[in-house]
Amino acid sequence: MDGTVPATTGSVEPGDLDLLRRIERRDEEAFRRLFRRHAPHAHALALRVVRQAFLAEEAVQDAFLALWRDAGSYDPGRGSVRTWLMGMVHNRAVDLVRREESQRRRVEEPRLVVLEDPGDRVVEELGSAEQGARVRAALANLPPEQRRVIELMYFGGLSQSRIAEHLSLPLGTVKSRTVLAMRRLRDDLVGMER
């Protein structure tokens, strides 16, 4: 089926392939006809993927713009014009979902900004340079993955759930690293007092 649709006047509408060949020659009327013929289905497909009307419109516009720019890239051996066009719409819709998800993650991603040495903060709270040096030394002795969890929790203000999301780790892993780090810190700090 090539998309030939009988017109109400008794004449036959050109098929999709014919319209595509005319679009290659920059026939704007052929482009309008192909757009009117397939835009509703393209929009419905994009909307199912992106679930937002404005993004669906963007996917459809991008696909039809690509068709206008490079109608000659169509390969009849790989399916109908409609199939080719719907494939372009689907690909653009998926790309938009990925882009939106990436932007959402960047906005929601916690940022660890340490403007001061965490040891200085502890020293200030404890009131002793000696104790601060001990805390810094104990933190430095932690394995890097445990130290990262402690820094995010105590100096970044993140919950264990947010740390798990931020580091792409299971919550159980974050909890066990916290427990192990706290035990090691306790042992190191108690050992330093002796």
pTM: 0.51
Question: What DSSP line would sit under the chain, residue for residue?
Answer: -----B-TTSPBPPPHHHHHHHHHTT-HHHHHHHHHHHHHHHHHHHHHHH--HHHHHHHHHHHHHHHHHTGGG--GGG--HHHHHHHHHHHHHHHHHHHHHHHHHHHHS------S-HHHHHHHHHT-HHHHHHHHHHHHHS-HHHHHHHIIIIIS---HHHHHHHHT--HHHHHHHHHHHHHHHHHHHHHHH-
What is the percentage of the chain residues whose pLDDT exceeds 70?
80
Q: In this predicted structure, what is the pLDDT of residue 6?
A: 46
* pLDDT surpasses 80 at 192: no
Span 115-143, average pLDDT? 69
> Per-residue pLDDT averaged across 98-116, rounded?
71
What are the extents of the domains in the chain? 16-108, 118-193
* CATH class of the domain whose range is 118-193: mainly alpha
Whether the predicted pLDDT of 112 surpasses 80:
no
The answer as to CATH 1.10.1740.10 being correct for domain 16-108 is yes
